[in-house]
Structure 1
Amino acid sequence: MMTLLLWALSAGLVLLGFAGIVLPALPGTLLVWAGLLLAAWIDDFQRIGGWPLAAISVLAVIAWALDYVAGLMGARHLGASKQALIGAALGTVLGLFMGLVGVFFMPLVGAAVGEYLARRDQHDAAPQALKVGVATWVGMLVGMLAKFVLAFVMIGVAVAAYLW
Structure 2
Amino acid sequence: MDLHALWYVLAALMVVVGLAGIVLPALPGLPLVFAGMLLAAWTDGFERVEWWWLLVLGVLTALSLLIDFWATAAGAKRVGASRKAVVGAVLGTVVGLFIVPPFGLFVGPFAGALLGELWHGRAMNSASVSQATRVGFGTWMGIVFGIVLKLGLACTMFVLFAWAWYA
| TM superposition score category, shorter chain reference | over 0.9
| Worse-superposed segment, 117-126 or 18-27 | 117-126
- Of 145, 149, 155, which aligns to 2:148? 145
Percent sequence identity over matched residues? 42
1:134 matched to 2:137: yes
Where do 5+ consecutive residues of structure 2 fail to align? none
| C-alpha RMSD over aligned residues | 1.3
1:111-122 → structure 2 map (5 Å cutoff): 111-121=113-123
Distance in structure 1 (CA, Å) of the matches to 2:137 and 2:126: 19
SS in 2 for 1:124: helix
Whichever residue aligns with residue 108 of structure 1, its letter is: F
- The TM-score normalised by the length of structure 2 is 0.93
| Worse-superposed segment, 55-64 or 117-126 | 117-126
Distance in structure 1 (CA, Å) of the matches to 2:17 and 2:87: 27
SS in 1 for 2:102: helix
1:65 matched to 2:66: yes
- Of 143, 153, 166, which aligns to 1:163? 166
1:1-150 → structure 2 map (5 Å cutoff): 1-98=2-99, 99-121=101-123, 124-150=127-153
- The TM-score normalised by the length of structure 1 is 0.94
Whichever residue aligns with residue 21 of structure 1, its letter is: I
* Deviation, structure 1 residue 104: 2.0
Where do 5+ consecutive residues of structure 1 fail to align? none
Distance in structure 2 (CA, Å) of the matches to 1:33 and 1:161: 14
